Structure 1
Amino acid sequence: MTPFQIAAVSVLAALFVRDVLRWGRSHLTHGVRLLRLAAWAAAAVTIADPGLLQSVANLLGIGRAADVVLYLTALGGLWVAFYLYTRCLRLEREITALTRHLAIRDATPPAADRRG
């Protein structure tokens, strides 16, 4: 292993252990936590044995392992963008509903017309 591989795998192992130790205190769902752990492990395995990713690339009919990483990054980025967009839309709707509720609750009736 090269010094870079040793350093990178060590950092990824520390991130993996940190996420495992903080499992119960995290506000993330179980699925997101497992996805994070899988990402740390996959990155560590890929860095430790680059030939393994090249074999996966060949199985998928992709010429280079770097292209596999690029494609997965692009797909992941698109998924995150769409997820965050829908999340923002949902939050906007909730804020609007809450604002309407508070406005109706705190509204004062109009003053009565007092003509003598």
Structure 2
Amino acid sequence: MEPIQIFGVVFALFALSRVIMQIKKRNINMNEGIFWIFIWSSVVIFLLFPECFGYLANFLGVGRGTDALIYISMVVLFYLIYRLYSKVDALEKQITHIVREIAIRDRYEPKKRD
């Protein structure tokens, strides 16, 4: 086993433990937790058994396992960027709604000044 594999497995197991802890503390919901458990478990499996990349590449019709990893990683990253964009957009709408409500309330109920 190469040093980079050992480092990667240790890091992935650490990240996996963080995900499990976040699920137990209910900081992330179960669907997100399952997604991240799948991702980090896949990282561990592919680090321990790098020949799986070759099988994955053949299955996807890509020349090398590294290329398959890069393509899959790009798709996952684009998906995560989309999710972040959606959440930021929803937060902006919520903030706008709250600010409008506060402005309307303050118009009819002026603040008392000491």
The two structures have a TM-score, normalised by structure 1, of 0.82
Aligned to 1:29: 29
Aligned to 2:20: 20
1:23 counterpart letter in structure 2: I
CA RMSD of aligned residues (A): 1.8
Cα offsets for 1:6-53 (capped at 9, x unmatched): 232123223323433443114111011111111111001111111111
- Which stretch has the larger CA shift, 2-11 or 77-86? 2-11
Q: Could you tell me which runs of 5 or more consecutive residues in structure 2 were left unpaired when the two chains were aligned.
A: 110-114
Aligned to 2:5: 5
* Contact 2:5/2:47 (8 A) holds in 1: yes
Q: Which has the larger radius of gyration?
A: 1
Work out the percentage of aligned pairs sharing the same amino acid: 25
Aligned to 2:57: 57
The two structures have a TM-score, normalised by structure 2, of 0.83
Q: Compare the two structures and name the one with the higher helix fraction.
A: 2
Cα offsets for 1:53-95 (capped at 9, x unmatched): 1111101111111111111121112112222222222111111
2:85 counterpart letter in structure 1: Y
For these two proteins, the number of residue pairs brought into alignment is 109
Cα gap change, 1:91 to 1:17, in 2 (>3 Å): closer
